Amino acid sequence: MKVLITGAEGFIAQNLIVRLKELADFEVVTFSRLESIEQLPLLVADIDAIVHLAGVNRPPTPEEFISGNTGLTEHLCNALLSSNRTIPVIFSSSTQAALDNVYGKSKLNAELVLRAYAAKSGAAVYIYRLPNVFGKWSKPNYNSAVATFCHNIANGLPIQINDANAALSLVYVDDVVDAFVGVLTNKQEFHTAEFCNVPVQYQTTVGQLAQQLQAFRDSRNTLITEQVGTGLARALYSTYMSYLLPKAFAYQVPKFDDPRGVFVEMVKTKDSGQFSYFTAHPGITRGGHYHHAKTEKFLVIKGQARFGFRHILTDETFTLLTSGDLPTVVETIPGWSHDITNIGDDEMIVMLWANEIFDRNRPDTIASKVIHS
């Protein structure tokens, strides 16, 4: 399928272009503000679909809303009608099309132009009234609070909040792209009456947005990660990370040295424990304690290890041998004292997960030796 994307320099278009180029069945043709509208008849001559993303939302004069939104859409539809072909169009309108302002009216009029084209040609037109779209490559200090806040917080700049309780309706650019690709591949259409919907939308406030992004920033110091695996937090975290400069791609974490080796904490979670690693020199034993409730998972990633266990009531003992050559997770069990010894000739490196963040005031770590036969 050959797809023409207008507004090709915009951040939604850039995300869509990348996605379509990843798919084998698409050829992308682009139209941007650098090109003349006189080229439109030639561009639409042999395409199969259009994703119309071009528009203006911060022009120097109000008149440019009309020329940049309604006017360009008129030129595009005239070119389509002149081609005598039935070409479907996906259009990124705005929720402001329902409001009484110059920008909203220009978007509404563009919708009407497209509906007239659909009526004359019989072509399908998919109109998405998008709320605030956020994601990677969105321009800060332009028309997106998410982009501006991400850029400033990620780079140590102040942010300005006029009303922390102001509501924000958001859609993530990947979900927008998914919706568009779904229409192009006839796999899904999301309609509410006369409009299409991006199925995943988020509601938050300006204050909550700022707090979440600041928590992402602070996690490098506290090591406590936010719950970034699903939903809005996942999308915001991905967006926030995209605004880091290359010099900020890496950061150091504390390292604790002693004669046995080193211990390094990597990341902590709010409700699912923490990850760390430690080393041990040949012949060194680490551990020698038990827990009442805490559990751990050990994975030797380099070297050879002997795990020893002793039940603190029955004195039953158990020994396990593992190595980095055969990845094996060894779990510690409440009520069993345990230790780990490097029985190899080289440094041993062990990854460790504990089901809770270490609390120095209540460590749940009681010294108790393991007797080895």
Give the active site residues. Answer: 103
Q: Which residues, 6 or more positions from 154, have their beta carbon under 8 angstroms from its beta carbon?
A: 217, 240, 241, 243, 244, 245, 248
Closest CA to 298 of 256, 333, 346, 272: 333
CB 49 within 8 A of CB 184: yes
265-291 exposure pattern, b = at least 16 Cβ within 10 A, e = fewer: beebbeeebbbbbbbbeeebbbbebbb
Query: Angle at CA 176, nearest 5°, toward 174 and 180?
Result: 115
Separation in Å, CA 246 to CA 85, 117, 158, 249, 267: 47, 46, 20, 5, 21
